[in-house]
Structure formats: structure tokens, C-alpha cells
Amino acid sequence: MSVVSYQLEGDIGVIRLNNPPVNALSHALRSGIQDAVTQAQDDASLALVLMCEGRTFIAGADISEFGKPPMLPSLPELLIVLEASKKPIIAAIHGTALGGGLETALACHYRCALPSAQVGLPEVKLGLLPGAGGTQRVPRLTGVKAALDLMTTGAPIAAAQALNIGLIDKVVEGDLLSAALDFANEVIAQGAELKRVSDLEVDKTTASAEFFAEYRKTLSKRLRGQEAPHRIVECIEAALNTPFDEGLKVERRLFVECMQSSQSGALQHMFFAERMSSKVKDLPKDTQLKDIKRVGIIGGGLMGGGIAMNFVNVGIPVTLLEISQEALQRGKDLIAKNYAMTVSKGKLTVELATQRQDMITGTTDYNDLADMDLVIEAVFENLDIKKQVFAKLDNVCKQGAILASNTSYQDVNLIAQSTSRPQDVIGLHFFSPANVMKLLEIVRGDETSDEVVATSMAIAKSIKKVPALSRVCYGFIGNRMLRHYAREAQLCLLEGSTPQNIDAVMQKFGMAMGPLAVGDLAGIDIGYKAREGLTDEQKGDVRTYCIADALYEMGRLGQKTGAGYYQYDPETRQRSVDPVVMEVIEAQAKKRGVERKVISDKTILDRLTFALINEGFKILEEGIAQRPSDIDVVYAFGYGFPAYRGGPMFYADTIGLEKIYHTVCEFADTYGEEFWQPAALLKQLVEEGKTLTQWANS
């Protein structure tokens, strides 16, 4: 069946696109549109409507064609043909008009959209810029500031807002085809001249040289390390200062530059990684999903409360269980505070916030969880307590309910064994703050059923999380790797570096925060408490935690006590260097017989990132993660790893596995084999001369 059809409806030629799932602009679609527009120039039609079948208008260029030999017509060429049509073309938008999709609509002469439609230019999220005239046409309609905001955030806007800023001409209700035909007939009746966006001028009063300089400065902060946003600003400047055709040339040159950049390669990898991570390799296609209509949550602390918000935000009622009325009230107050913050930022109305909170019922009685379809335990991180909770759940919950633990370290198999239904037990590891962080690590126990795994993946999608599947091991994918990263940060501190230096190196690399600043944010007490009760052997080498423990013993628990690896301003939370910390570090080095030396930034970076990568390889060889890209998803969405480097495993391929392997071997010689043993899979791939991507695709 053809992806483009063309039909006369009275005086109007209707071009219908049908390229599921999202009408991406594949070669077939581009050629089909070009043929239809060409054919329409000589037929009886007086105007044309361009619209899509299926769930959405065009979602953009076909990303799977990127990097392949170009096939004509290219999108920019097609859009020149579209705009040059001698008959008016009306784009009729439903769903989402994104990237090249919106650019296609902008090359039409008029645009109407359903109220539920959204439009946007998300290219920046792929390390790109709108490359089919978008950077030149949008500012001609909206002015400079709105155009820059649209392109540098990549966030879609609703039809009403698009109308407001001049991006579309009309919001239409009811049946889209009839509304678009009416609109086309109006245009014909008015005998209006063709409205070509390229003929318009950019409003010169909307931007000055100072405005651009200021915008660049804020971009450098907001999108630290990313190149595409700055190229977008260059394009908009060209739109302001040069004729349309010249501006198009600037856009083309910078688009090609972006397309060839390593950042775009990494972000395109992340685009597909994010979608791939919800696919479970060995699940039978006909696996039944369970219906999740009511959710119980045990524990109303920071985590439990955040988890509850995820569900009520999508209309699923929650029963929140705590040990006492007081604890319950504290939990509800915390949730109320969170919603109040969202309201104060203008992201939610008071009515909606109240409605959502009303969907949370408090209880102190386990019997009230009897009818829940899913129960998530979010109590203290202690195996015995968790086992007791699950034994109680086993007694009260209906058969078939999913029993999930939010544990970040504990053995899900042992938790499952405390019930008579291990097939229904799974780990759903949310990240703090749970109402904000996108990652959901789904931990599949040895006996977890296919239905429970598949339903958990579907739950993640319904609450707008990005899932990644892990098998059971200590710390699962994310925290298991993090231990090695944190270990190297501690050792670098002891051996010669400073918190501010290590954090600066990692932030420059692109991490959202450096490891010591993260330690202060999370609380230095967490690691200390986790080590309490462990034998020396279980705790591991004292050099990997002696500084943290010394700070803990001084009452420096991090941000919450105003001091940790740094000092914090009580009002602003601004951090500053504290000389006391250096004294602690030096004293510990002396005590452990470590001679402090200068450590180069490069060595710090390699020690921290290669520690992550080497453990990532072990996680793959043990089958803990399904695929390398799932590890990338975990790190990009849960740990602030820069998406423009594609996650640690993609980064490994860009560095080269041979280099990583040899460096890890050198580190083993220099810093000790107890910390550095190259993963067998890493060694194997180096011997076979393969990249990780090749291994994953084989």
C-alpha cells in the first residue's frame, strides 16, 4: 500500500500520508508528497490539504535513515517544491507535528490544528538543528525569542500556544478533514494571495546583539557542554541578518556539521536506546498484561510519597500505608509540599493538585491493601524488614497482585522467598526524587513471571518513566557500577586530589554533578549506615571509605548538616571549599601510609569513567543487563551521565575498547588488582577486534 494518497474532494485536493507508526518522513513519503503536489499543480483542484492518517501528523525526519546515503528528494528540496506550489496548501495537524514535520507544515501556506495537537522542534535533543528551513521560517512567524526557546528546549507546545505565537493560523474543533476543507474553501473564497513564510521579514526589533550574547550565556549554563544549541543561535542570527536563501545556506552548513558531530551520534543512540529499553528479549509475544487500577504503597517517606505522586498524576488511585497516623500525616504533608511547589512554578493548577492529593487514601492497616493490583514497598533499606513486609503482603493481598520492592540493593530473590508467590514479586527501583527522575530500574527475580515483567514495563510507560531491566545482583545495574565510580573518587581524594578538583573534572566531562557534591546531597550517613554491622572483609578496603567515615564522625553529613565534603551556606545552599576537609583527607592519607601526589585531570577522568565501564562489561557478561544500551539508559536517566556522550557503554566504544582494556591493565599494575580486574568480555572483544555495538548487534 502506498504511503501517500491523493484524492480530489470537490475543489480541494487532499494529500493523505500513511506511514505508521509516526509518519516519519522516509524516502517513500518524501517522494510521494512531491509526486502528489506536482500532480495537483495541473488538475482541477483550487487548493490542497496535507494531512496524516493514524495517531499523529509527521513526527519528523526518519531518524533511522540518518547516516545512510541520501536519497532524493531531500527534505529541504521537497519543502522548496511545497512552498512554491501555485495552489495554496493547508496543513491539517493532529497528534504531534515535530521537527521536519513542523517544518513541512511551515512550508505549507496555512496551518490548522486540533486543540489536542502539539508542535515542536526537538532536533536539539538529537544534537541537531531544524535542517529543513525551520530555523529560517519560524523566526519569521514568531520573532526571535520564541523561535530560540522552541528550538533550544526542543519542548513541544500546545496548539493554543502555537496559535498565540503565530506558528499556526487556526485551532479547529471536530472532524479535522471537514475543518481543513472548510478552511481551504475560505482561503479560495477570499482569493487570498499565497502566504509564503519565506517572503516575510524577521521582526528586527525583537533582538539585538546584546540579546544574542545574553541568550548564549544562559544556554551555556542551561545546556552545558552541548554544541547544537549554539549552532541554532547562529542560524537565527542569519535569519535576522541575511535574505532567506542565504539563511538556508547557513542552516544547511551548520546542520551538516551537527549531523557529523559525535554529540549527535551519541544522542541518536540515546533516542533508540530509550525506546529499546522497554523491550524484553525473551518475552513471548502473547504475554498477557495485568490490569493495574489500584496501587498500594508502603512507606510515606520521601520515596514512597514521590512514587505515589507518579500514579495519581496519571489518574491511578493510591492507598498509602504507614505505621502510625503521625507518620501518615508527615507523608501527606510532604506530598502536599511537593504539589505546592509545582503549583507555585505555574506547572499545575491548585484544583488539579487538590484533585490528585484526594486520590491518595491513607491507612495504617495492611488489610486495606487486600484489593490492590500492585503494591510497592518503600520502607527502610533493610532485608529483614522488607521480608517481614512481604510476608504480611502475602497474607492480605489478592491472588495475582504484583508485589514490588523499591529496594536499591537488596536481593529480590530473598524478598520473593518470604512469600508463597515469588512469581508475583519484582523490584521496581525508583530514583529520588521519585516524582521527577525518569529512570525506573525493573529487577526481575529468578522466579518473576513473564506477565509481571511485561506489566511492569507497561506501568513504566503509563507513569512516563524510562524502564531498564536488570537481573538480581548487589546494587543491580546502576548502584553496582556506582560503587566502583565512587571508590575511585575516594581513592583519588586520598592519593592527592581535592573534592573540588574531582567534581570539576566530572562536571566538565558533562556529569550533572560531581561525585563528592552528590555524596553531600544524598548524605554521607547513607554509606556509613550501610557499612554498619558489616565485617571488615565485607566493607572492603578501608582506603575506599576512610575519608567519608571521618567526615561522618565529625557530624559532617552533607547538605543537611551544612557541611560535608564542602561547606554550605544555610540560606542559599551555595557550596564553598572548606580547609578542614583537606586536613581530614591529609590526616587519613598519613594514617593509611599513602603519599599524596598530584593527579592529573585526565587520570581522574579515566579512573572514574573506566571504573564504571569495566563494571558495565561485567554486568553484561553475567547477563544482569539485557544489552549495553540499557546500561546507557540507566546512567543517562538515573545518574546524570551526559546524554550527549551516549551513556558509559556507548562512550566506551567512542574511546575504543583496546585503549580502555590496556588502561585498565595499567591501572591494575599501578593501583592494585584488588580494584582493577579487566572484565572478561572487554578482553574478549579486544581480542576479537569488535566494538561493543557490534557485539550487541551480533
> Which residue stretches of 143-205 are H helix?
144-153, 159-164, 176-190
Among 58-66, 234-242, 341-349, 630-638, the segment contacting ligand 3H9 (CB under 6 A): 58-66
Q: Which of 37, 49, 93, 98 binds ligand 3H9 (CB under 6 A)?
A: 98
For residue 278, the minimal CB distance to ligand 3H9 (Å) is 8
For residue 200, the minimal CB distance to ligand 3H9 (Å) is 20
Q: Cell digits for 31?
A: 517522494
100 is a site residue for ligand 3H9 (CB under 6 A): yes
Q: How far is CA 545 from the centre of its chain?
A: 31
Residues in 11-50 that interact with ligand 3H9 by CB under 6 A = 21-22, 24
103 labelled catalytic: yes
CA 121 to CA 103: how far, in whole Å? 8
Q: Cell digits for 56?
A: 499523529
Q: Which of 12, 62, 110, 639 binds ligand 3H9 (CB under 6 A)?
A: 62
Q: Which is nearer to ligand 3H9, 123 or 495 (CB)?
A: 123
Q: Which of 14, 49, 50, 61 binds ligand 3H9 (CB under 6 A)?
A: 61
For residue 85, the minimal CB distance to ligand 3H9 (Å) is 20
CA 668 to CA 674: how far, in whole Å? 8
Considering the candidates 103, 322, 488, 615, report the single residue annotated as catalytic: 103
For residue 61, the minimal CB distance to ligand 3H9 (Å) is 4
Q: Is 179 helix (H, G, I), strand (E, B) or coil?
A: helix
Q: What is the per-residue binding string for ligand 3H9 in 315-354, x denoting contact by CB under 6 A? A: ----------------------------------------
Which residues, in sequence order, are CB contacts of 538 under 8 Å at separation 6+? none
251 is a site residue for ligand 3H9 (CB under 6 A): no
For residue 462, the minimal CB distance to ligand 3H9 (Å) is 11
63 is a site residue for ligand 3H9 (CB under 6 A): yes
Considering the candidates 9, 65, 123, 673, report the single residue annotated as catalytic: 123
606 is a site residue for ligand 3H9 (CB under 6 A): no
**Per rule CB under 6 A, count of chain residues that contact ligand 3H9:** 25
Q: Which has the closest alpha carbon to 362: 396, 329, 395?
A: 329
Q: Which helix (H) or strand (E) holds 98?
A: strand 96-98
State yes or no: cis peptide before 642, omega within 30 of 0: no
Among 61-69, 140-148, 399-407, 537-545, the segment contacting ligand 3H9 (CB under 6 A): 61-69
3-class SS letters over 355-392: HHHHCEEEECCHHHHCCCCEEEECCCCCHHHHHHHHHH
For 6, phi and psi rounded to 5 degrees?
-135, 130
CA 478 to CA 458: how far, in whole Å? 21
75 is a site residue for ligand 3H9 (CB under 6 A): yes
Q: Cell digits for 393?
A: 503482603
> Which residue stretches of 242-370 are H helix?
244-259, 262-276, 302-313, 325-344, 350-358
Among 56-64, 452-460, 604-612, 665-673, the segment contacting ligand 3H9 (CB under 6 A): 56-64
214 labelled catalytic: no
Q: How far is CA 665 from the centre of its chain?
A: 33
Q: What is the per-residue binding string for ligand 3H9 in 120-139, x denoting contact by CB under 6 A? A: --xx--x-x-xxx-x-----
For residue 275, the minimal CB distance to ligand 3H9 (Å) is 4
**Distances in whole angstroms, Cα of residue 168 to Cα of each of 29, 86, 141, 334, 623:** 23, 20, 9, 41, 50
CA 303 to CA 318: how far, in whole Å? 14
Q: Is the dihedral of CA 491, 492, 496, 500 positive or negative?
A: negative
452 is a site residue for ligand 3H9 (CB under 6 A): no
630 is a site residue for ligand 3H9 (CB under 6 A): no
377 is a site residue for ligand 3H9 (CB under 6 A): no
Q: Which is nearer to ligand 3H9, 20 or 672 (CB)?
A: 20
Question: Where along the sequence are the contacts to ligand 3H9 (CB under 6 A)?
Answer: 21-22, 24, 56, 59-64, 75, 96, 98-100, 103, 122-123, 126, 128, 130-132, 134, 275
List residues with catalytic annotation. Answer: 103, 123
